[in-house]
Structure 1
Amino acid sequence: MVTFYITTLGCKVNQYESQQIRQFLQSIGLSQTFKPENADIAVVRTCCITRNASSKSRQAIKRIHKANPECVIIANGCLIDSETEEKPQDIESLVLQRENQQLEKILEQVCGKLKTEERIFESGLKNYGRQTRAFLKVQDGCDGFCSYCIIPKIRTDISSKPLENVLNEAQELVDSGHREIVLTGVFLGAYGKETVKRSRWRQSVNREFLKLVDSVAKTPGLERLRLSSVEPGDISEELMEIYKSRTNLAPHFHISLQSGSSRILKLMNRQYDSETFRQKIDLINESLHKPAVTTDIIAGFPGETEADFKKSIEMCRYCGFSKIHVFSYSSRKGTGAENLNGHLPAGVIKQRAAELAELGDRLAEKYRNSLAGQEAAVIIENENTQSGKCERYLDIKLTEGNFRRGQLVLAKILPSGKEAAPCR
């Protein structure tokens, strides 16, 4: 029997698409292995959001080749579809599959004729493999052209999955045992729209997005629904009303700040300013009990002055983020930021990234400590450690009990914020 191995770099959309590939390969009779040395075929879903991501994608390919030189490696995803000069090479058994090449056809060449008419990336998932949390991709594509981002030149087709299909897939995932679903997309808040540019929308509030969230939350048996990533413009009073009425909606939002300086946000071509971001955080905090807000910030964007950087620091303190993902700015060929003036020395970028990361650690600890004595719903992910994610996206270890993987356990968070005692 032909065996396959899959590894995925990058975002939740990439991870979802890897699951689609996994489901397809299993449907045509291939057997999955979790060790590359045992694979006949390896699929590497690449990422190129940063130069570091491109490097990690290449390293993943090299590791598989080193472990199994006879394995045919099929690399696809954003790095392969990009116009960067960072693509992997010099491996004879490597096949680069671009977006306009059907993976089905490449597999047919690799492992013989396939008896299927199914198109991989048009099929919904029936299960999410061995994971307790299932991602459900509902939107693809972006034309926002943030000046640091290469994705609008790669994922150019803006599309949304019909709501009926989303609901059917959500029910399939719940029926297969997944207690939590995470809605994801390249620009999730643009669900149902033909553009992500809000200035071209008839209304500032996206009713299709609101209906999506409310409808999926009603899925019978769904214990928890989470949004993967939203923009400040997606946060509205209407969305907060839905959150208050649906108890299975996780009080956690990942909202990319990128910079606390309105001047830098304008250079980044973001669709909000710092005051708008602050107002959205206020709205979330006023509407929900101890919500968790995680974020992304870019350190050292071209033209960022010390004053601009301090505004990012101040904004982080104001928002009290439960986690900050810090990215050191790196120039990407083909992006608007590549041609901006004021590119900063590597040392300055490194120092600012380190300061943001240190602040992020302090804020994360402060947020965890604030939850002491609160009740949390933990979905067990690791039976050996009796730990899993709670609704606020924190890893929590239970102090006692013997719960099975996938089980939802109500527990009271202890002073450390990292452990919880099961409620009796």
Structure 2
Amino acid sequence: MRKAALHNLGCKVNSYETEAMQQLLENAGYEIVPFTEEADVYIINTCSVTNIADKKSRQMLHRAKKMNPGAVVVAAGCYVQAAGEELKKDEAVDLIVGNNKKTELVTILDDYFSDREDVLEETVIDIRSTREYESLSIDKIADHTRAFIKIQDGCNQFCSYCIIPYTRGQVRSRKAEEVVEEIKRLTATGFQEVVLTGIHLSSYGKDFPAEERITLLDLIIKIHEVEGLKRIRLGSLEPRIVTEEFAVTLSKLTKICPHFHLSLQSGCDTTLKRMNRHYSAEEFYNCCNILRKAFINPAITTDVIVGFPGETKEEFVMTKEYLEKVRFYEMHVFKYSKRNGTKAAEMTDQVQEFIKSERSSELLILEKEMSLAYRKSYLGSKAEVLIEESFEINGIKYMIGHTREYVKAAVPYEEGLKGKLLVGILTEMLTDEIALLNIMGQI
């Protein structure tokens, strides 16, 4: 029996695909071992979102070969699409497997072990030319309480800083019945929460033929009918999907978690235009207000890039003031990182690194203040918490999880609570990030 070890880099979609590849290997008779152990096959599901991600991908591939020089090292995913020819020349890499070829991983390995000389010629496709959704699926997830479900791949947005449309291809959606069946299987094994994820989630269904076309909202309604499922959480959404109809319909679905991640990137319209984002700051703000009208105190989180090429001090100040107006629950703040092959990488007026760091620090301080204020707004309120893991705070052991709004909450440690849905009152902040739940009962 051959041993295989897998390592994931990058986004939640990559994580899902790594889980799926692991199950393909298990079903083929491979023994799965931790990545730190000696294995016969190492699979690194790579990321290529920034130059730094490329570097990390290369480092992990070389680390695998050092751990066992006789092993087969497989580079899979986005970095393969971006640098396949380069990887073919890398002595640390034995096989490359591009996106939309991961379902064939076991066959590719079988061919390699059979000394098929042309195996490398069939493992990467022109991802921009395909309209086929790669049918990966999972039946179980190791040691998690919520299941991430991939429903869509690809992106047609072409933001000026982003390489993803070139590494993931055009929008391709998974058939609704496949999504629902997978969720039914996972719910039957005990999962009570699913998170819908994709490369550009809001585009779900737009690639289907007119007679088969359904929207993300249509799919959510179908998922809501799955018996035993308690929570549906949405991945990152494009702001323009948030209409009155979208928000009001979701608010009537009791399983929907009122936690919405809307990707902003900048609060300055001129910066948004350079980024090729397809909305204005005012339109984004209106989307937030629509959600706040439909839901009581929903969690709205976002991404912000600081130091984008050409960002002046005035543009940054405008963004900061805008963020203070919107009042997000959480912000993921990124310093702009140049990605070769994108329009932004060729732009003049690249911002100096120390300025990016200063601006990032300033927004992180603001993020901490806004985040704490949002968490405190729930003290004294009834909450439902899905328990996930044990955790120590000041030497005292607790079990912690998240509310429907993704506020972290803790209860006194007790065996058997993992995966349970508890209801209670949030009474105080144990730390700036964790509230204490006074348990009233279990769902």
Which segment drifts farther, 234-243 or 139-148?
Answer: 234-243
**Could you say what secondary structure the match of 2:20 adopts?**
helix
Label 1:90 to 1:257 Cα distance change in 2 as closer, same or farther (>3 A).
same
The residue number in structure 1 matching 2:122 is: none
Task: Give 1:107's aligned amino acid.
Answer: L
**Could you say what secondary structure the match of 1:289 adopts?**
coil
Q: CA deviation at 1:69?
A: 4.0
Instruction: State whether structure 2 residue 331 is matched by structure 1 residue 324.
Output: yes
Q: Is the 8 A contact 1:268 1:337 kept in 2?
A: yes
The residue number in structure 2 matching 1:418 is: 435
Which segment drifts farther, 65-74 or 359-368?
Answer: 65-74
Label 1:85 to 1:293 Cα distance change in 2 as closer, same or farther (>3 A).
farther
Q: Is the 8 A contact 1:133 1:179 kept in 2?
A: yes
Q: Is the 8 A contact 1:17 1:121 kept in 2?
A: no
Alignment of 1:166-185 (within 5 A): 166-185=179-198
Q: CA deviation at 1:121?
A: 4.1
Which segment drifts farther, 388-397 or 343-352?
Answer: 388-397
Q: 1:189 aligns with which of 186, 202, 220?
A: 202
Label 1:73 to 1:419 Cα distance change in 2 as closer, same or farther (>3 A).
farther
Instruction: State whether structure 2 residue 161 is matched by structure 1 residue 148.
Output: yes
RMSD (Å) for aligned C-alpha atoms? 2.6
**Could you say what secondary structure the match of 2:58 adopts?**
helix
Instruction: State whether structure 2 residue 365 is matched by structure 1 residue 358.
Output: yes
Task: State the distance in 2 between where 1:413 and 1:372 align.
Answer: 5
> 1:237-288: CA deviations, max 9, x gaps?
1222222211111110111110000111111111110000110111111211
Q: Is the 8 A contact 1:386 1:403 kept in 2?
A: no
Instruction: State whether structure 2 residue 322 is matched by structure 1 residue 315.
Output: yes
> 1:30-61: CA deviations, max 9, x gaps?
12223431422221111111223223323333
Q: CA deviation at 1:106?
A: 2.6
The residue number in structure 2 matching 1:393 is: 406
Task: State the distance in 2 between where 1:375 and 1:85 align.
Answer: 56
Structure 2 spans left out of the alignment, 5+ residues: 116-131, 392-397
The residue number in structure 2 matching 1:296 is: 303
Task: Give 1:51's aligned amino acid.
Answer: N
Q: 1:137 aligns with which of 145, 150, 155?
A: 150
> 1:213-257: CA deviations, max 9, x gaps?
111122111111011110111111122222221111111011111
Task: State the distance in 2 between where 1:64 and 1:289 align.
Answer: 49
Task: State the distance in 1 between where 2:320 and 2:143 align.
Answer: 39
The residue number in structure 2 matching 1:160 is: 173
Q: CA deviation at 1:149?
A: 0.3
Which segment drifts farther, 165-174 or 410-419?
Answer: 410-419
Q: Is the 8 A contact 1:400 1:422 kept in 2?
A: no
**Could you say what secondary structure the match of 1:423 adopts?**
strand
Alignment of 1:19-418 (within 5 A): 19-83=19-83, 91-92=91-92, 94-99=94-99, 102-110=104-112, 121-194=134-207, 208-383=215-390, 385-399=398-412, 401-416=414-429, 417-418=434-435
Q: Is the 8 A contact 1:264 1:308 kept in 2?
A: yes
Label 1:121 to 1:3 Cα distance change in 2 as closer, same or farther (>3 A).
farther
Task: Give 2:205's aligned amino acid.
Answer: G
Q: Is the 8 A contact 1:47 1:54 kept in 2?
A: yes
Task: State the distance in 1 between where 2:94 and 2:407 align.
Answer: 38
Task: State the distance in 2 between where 1:311 and 1:247 align.
Answer: 37
Which segment drifts farther, 124-133 or 226-235?
Answer: 124-133
TM-score, normalising length from structure 1?
Answer: 0.89
The residue number in structure 1 matching 2:127 is: none
Which segment drifts farther, 66-75 or 144-153?
Answer: 66-75
Identity %: 34
Which segment drifts farther, 281-290 or 397-406?
Answer: 397-406
Q: CA deviation at 1:120?
A: 11
Task: Give 1:59's aligned amino acid.
Answer: Q
Q: Is the 8 A contact 1:3 1:40 kept in 2?
A: yes
Task: Give 2:182's aligned amino acid.
Answer: E
Task: State the distance in 1 between where 2:311 and 2:265 align.
Answer: 12
Q: CA deviation at 1:86?
A: 8.7
> 1:340-388: CA deviations, max 9, x gaps?
2321111111111111122111111111111112222222221464112
Structure 1 spans left out of the alignment, 5+ residues: 114-118, 196-201
**Could you say what secondary structure the match of 1:122 adopts?**
coil
Label 1:174 to 1:308 Cα distance change in 2 as closer, same or farther (>3 A).
same
Q: CA deviation at 1:84?
A: 9.2
Task: State the distance in 2 between where 1:53 and 1:98 align.
Answer: 16
Q: Is the 8 A contact 2:426 2:438 kept in 1?
A: yes
The residue number in structure 2 matching 1:199 is: none
Task: Give 1:364's aligned amino acid.
Answer: S
Task: State the distance in 1 between where 2:42 and 2:100 align.
Answer: 20
Label 1:354 to 1:24 Cα distance change in 2 as closer, same or farther (>3 A).
same
Label 1:124 to 1:35 Cα distance change in 2 as closer, same or farther (>3 A).
closer
Task: State the distance in 2 between where 1:395 and 1:88 align.
Answer: 45
Q: Is the 8 A contact 1:21 1:120 kept in 2?
A: no
* Number of residue-to-residue matches in the alignment: 410
Label 1:66 to 1:363 Cα distance change in 2 as closer, same or farther (>3 A).
farther
